[in-house]
């Protein structure tokens, strides 16, 4: 049995973990290390007695110690470094801490703090996590994968660092995103961390600041594109599935628009893969819209949607909205006509030059317009969605116009990090006189209206989506991930929003329930996979929920006490 994996037998109600490591090797392995929670017997058997202080702590005491250290720090970047250092030395304690208050710690290990951490990754870098594969390693990726110590990998998050959140090209510094994403796979979805692998494909960077940064940890040349880039991606996909199997989930993260759509279309029907920026963002946005319909008391197809932004997030959301409208009985063409987009050159209309095929789908007959305020007055949307990473794009005038046009305007400022948000929650509620139905990509504090009512802005965080999707796909061994998976996920998320949540301004379930939400998503995905014959784990479990629960990672410590027992006395008698 590999080090770090729990055996089936039990000791004192805890899984028995078997490892051949001894001494400092145990304390330096984050999969094994329990710090001062090792019992005296465990310390003696693992040859670590004397290597730890003569003190025995429970896991709850260790969590308390971490919390006290966390509270003592004044900057979120320092808190990020504290938590990442904990992950490097004691994995179970790290996830126990995250699970103890996911609403508090998620903004530290993921957006918005992870954006700052990526920008300063050279300073925050302590110990390498994941696999760094460069453009110069072509022809040898299969060999590099063998360097990774785990032979069973079920989920990979891969990036090339070209479009990190709303921050642009961060090159190798973008590794913080796959690391943070997979931490949430475990904290929110219960995917086993030792079955996850973060990967950075370093093809260079076009960020001149990084190329001149003495602390930069990546290749110091311009990005290599074209056939060499495509060959690297093809070899990577083939090497991963050859080593870990065709059911290994490969999530693409923070690729530039030009590559994101192209690679998704290229690989989606060949591998078990999805792009979170396109499909995950779409799912969480549509989940928010479905919840908002319970406030507006109408159908999605009754709304006119205007996007500020026409990149991968906007197009992903728009395509899923079309799918949701079709499910209401509207034709695809009619659904498309309800959706308008604005990019850096203005309103996307028929006949405009240099439109990609993805944008052309949402180009309508209309005069060209450039000013967003004028476009809002002309198009008269009931839903305004910002995904262009232009901070403050939703001006006071736009918000007031949305309120004048609609009894309950739906306004989603989804860009990350917080500095890139199109408007704040307070601005939305203030300029719509408290009538705006608001959601954002990054967290905002509660807002108290002049009436005395306190509203809690909904955070449309992709973490509602990808952990549950991953758990479901991995548990049933789904072969490919279709768009229906993400519409199903959106429906499940919206169904978990209570009427009380809606009255408080929340369009998403409270983050404290995210593990339950992820489980429900996973169960529904697995049910549909078996119904559609896209699952590969057979025989089909009789109780899918119980089966998936059994796959969930436990943050409780295992026991290392030897599984010792005796034989009958006669059998043990020494023969002379």
The residues, ordered by sequence, that sit 6+ positions from 134 with a Cβ below 8 Å of its Cβ are 201, 202, 203, 219
- Look up 181 and say whether it is catalytic: yes
Q: Please identify which of the residues 110, 271, 429, 508 carries the catalytic annotation.
A: 110
- Rounded to 10°, the helix 396-405/372-379 angle is 0
CB 406 within 8 A of CB 306: no
**Is 326 exposed, middle or buried, given 0-12, 13-18 or 19+ CB atoms closer than 10 A?**
middle
Tokens of 191: 């995917």
Q: List the beta bridge partners of residue 6.
A: 17
Burial 427-452 (b: 16+ CB within 10 A, else e): bbbbbbebebbbbbbbbbeebeeeee
Residue with tokens 């049910």: 527
- Look up 327 and say whether it is catalytic: no
Would residue 354 be called left, alpha or beta, if left means φ above 0 and alpha means ψ between -120 and 50 degrees? left
The residues, ordered by sequence, that sit 6+ positions from 522 with a Cβ below 8 Å of its Cβ are 189, 468, 469, 471, 472, 475, 548
Closest CA to 441 of 455, 469, 468, 422: 422
Residue with tokens 């005038």: 397
Q: Please identify which of the residues 181, 192, 430, 520 carries the catalytic annotation.
A: 181
Catalytic residue IDs: 110, 181
């Amino acid at each position: 049995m590999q080090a770090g994996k729990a055996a089936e037998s039990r000791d004192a109600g805890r899984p028995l973990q078997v490892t051949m490591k001894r001494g400092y090797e145990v304390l330096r392995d984050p999969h094994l290390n329990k710090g001062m929670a090792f019992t005296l017997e465990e310390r003696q058997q693992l040859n670590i007695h004397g290597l730890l202080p003569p003190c025995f702590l429970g896991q709850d005491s260790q969590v308390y110690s971490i919390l006290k250290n966390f509270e003592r720090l004044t900057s979120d970047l320092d808190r990020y470094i504290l938590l990442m250092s904990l992950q490097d030395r004691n994995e179970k304690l790290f996830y126990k801490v995250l699970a103890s208050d996911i609403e508090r710690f998620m903004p530290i290990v993921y957006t918005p703090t992870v954006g700052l951490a990526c920008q300063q990754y050279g300073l925050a870098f302590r110990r390498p996590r994941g696999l760094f594969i460069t453009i110069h390693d072509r022809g040898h990726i299969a060999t590099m994968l063998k360097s990774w110590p785990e032979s069973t990998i079920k989920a990979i998050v891969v990036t090339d660092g070209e479009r990190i959140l709303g921050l642009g090209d961060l090159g190798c510094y973008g590794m913080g995103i796959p690391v943070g994403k997979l931490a949430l796979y475990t904290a929110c979805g219960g995917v086993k961390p030792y079955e996850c692998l973060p990967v950075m494909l370093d093809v260079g960077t076009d960020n001149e600041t990084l190329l001149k940064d003495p602390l930069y940890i990546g290749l110091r040349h311009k990005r290599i594109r074209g056939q060499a880039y495509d060959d690297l991606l093809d070899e990577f996909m083939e090497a991963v599935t050859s080593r870990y199997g065709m059911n290994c989930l490969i999530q693409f993260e923070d690729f530039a628009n030009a590559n994101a759509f192209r690679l998704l279309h290229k690989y989606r029907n060949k591998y078990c893969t999805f792009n979170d920026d396109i499909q995950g963002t779409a799912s969480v946005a549509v989940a928010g819209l479905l919840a908002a319909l319970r406030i507006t008391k109408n159908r999605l197809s009754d709304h006119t949607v205007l996007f500020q932004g026409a990149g991968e997030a906007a197009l992903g959301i728009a395509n899923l909205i079309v799918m949701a409208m079709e499910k209401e009985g509207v034709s695809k063409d009619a659904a498309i006509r309800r959706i308008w987009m604005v990019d850096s050159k203005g309103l996307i209309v028929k006949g405009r030059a240099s439109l990609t095929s993805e944008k052309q789908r949402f180009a309508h007959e209309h005069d060209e317009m450039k000013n967003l305020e004028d476009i809002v007055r002309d198009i008269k949307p009931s839903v305004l969605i910002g995904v262009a990473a232009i901070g403050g794009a939703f001006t006071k005038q736009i918000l007031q116009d949305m309120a004048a046009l609609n009894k309950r305007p739906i306004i989603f400022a989804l860009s990350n990090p917080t500095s890139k948000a199109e408007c704040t929650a307070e601005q939305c509620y203030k300029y719509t006189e408290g009538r705006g139905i608001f959601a954002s990509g990054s967290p905002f504090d509660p807002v108290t209206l002049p009436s005395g009512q306190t509203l809690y802005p909904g955070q449309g965080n992709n973490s509602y989506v990808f952990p549950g999707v991953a758990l479901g796909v991995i548990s049933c061994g789904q072969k490919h991930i279709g768009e229906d998976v993400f519409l199903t996920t959106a429906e499940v998320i919206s169904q978990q929003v209570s009427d009380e949540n809606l009255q408080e301004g929340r369009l998403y379930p409270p983050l404290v329930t995210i593990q339950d939400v992820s489980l429900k998503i996973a169960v529904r995905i697995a049910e549909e996979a078996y119904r559609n014959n896209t699952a590969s784990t057979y025989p089909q479990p009789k109780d899918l929920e119980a089966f998936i629960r059994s796959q969930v990672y436990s943050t409780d410590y295992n026991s290392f006490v030897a599984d010792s027992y005796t034989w009958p006395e006669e059998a043990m008698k020494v023969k002379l």
